[in-house]
Amino acid sequence: MTRAALLCLAVLVVRSSTASAQPLDLQLSVSPRTITFASANPDTSPTVTAAPISVTVRVKGPKTLQWHLSVLADGDLVAGPSTIPISNVTWAATQAPPFQNGTLSRTTAQTLAGGSGALNPGTTSTVTFSLVNSWLYDAGTYTQTLTFTLSSP
């Protein structure tokens, strides 16, 4: 049986609602923008790991600036009528802090990184996504979109 999951990564939102007199510049880069979990035997591979992605955050602004990077799934992994809960996907991030490990959610944006003050030059984390593997998943190619949001309150 073939079970593969494909996550499309969307870097959609970079926003700021800071009313400071100093200019504010938030930059986010995610590469590559697609990850794939290979099909594997759950008896020998209870967790399947995708190739890592690079996430780079650059923040220019006042020293008191607070910033936050979150990730939110648009839903569960989907292949036709079949689904795999997105909470079965976790990530491990290097460069901690400001980056941190976590679990994907379709309802609540999860913190990937955060801090205060400028990051100029930016900092890059290698983020590796892992999927809990199971014989209970229907065969298919599952997809979902993740949205990364870099913001400053």
pLDDT in tens, 110-135: 999 999 988 888 999 999 999 999 99
Domain assignment present for residue 101? The answer is yes
- For 150, residues 6+ apart whose C-beta sits below 8 A from its C-beta are 13, 14, 15, 26, 27, 28, 57, 67, 68, 69
User: Is the pLDDT assigned to residue 43 strictly greater than 60?
Assistant: yes
Q: What is the pLDDT of residue 64?
A: 86
Amino acid sitting at position 53? I
Domain assignment present for residue 37? The answer is yes
Question: For residue 84, what are the β-bridge partners?
Answer: 77
Domain assignment present for residue 5? The answer is no
| Domain range enclosing 82 | 10-15+24-139+146-152
Tell me how crowded residue 53 is: count the other CB atoms within 10 A of its CB: 19
Domain assignment present for residue 3? The answer is no
User: Is the pLDDT assigned to residue 15 strictly greater than 50?
Assistant: no
User: Is the pLDDT assigned to residue 63 strictly greater than 90?
Assistant: no
- Give 47's pLDDT tier (boundaries 50, 70, 90): very high
- Give 18's pLDDT tier (boundaries 50, 70, 90): very low
Structure tokens at 14: 């970079």
Q: What is the pLDDT of residue 51?
A: 97
* Number of domains composing the chain: 1
- Cα angle 28-32-33, degrees, rounded to a multiple of 5: 75
- Give 2's pLDDT tier (boundaries 50, 70, 90): very low
Domain assignment present for residue 120? The answer is yes
Cα–Cα distance measured from residue 68 to residue 76, given in angstroms and rounded to the nearest whole number: 24
Give the residue among 80, 94, 91, 79 at the shortest CA–CA distance from 39.
79
Tell me how crowded residue 151 is: count the other CB atoms within 10 A of its CB: 19
Domain assignment present for residue 57? The answer is yes
Give the residue among 73, 59, 77 at the shortest CA–CA distance from 141.
77
Structure tokens at 69: 């990077």
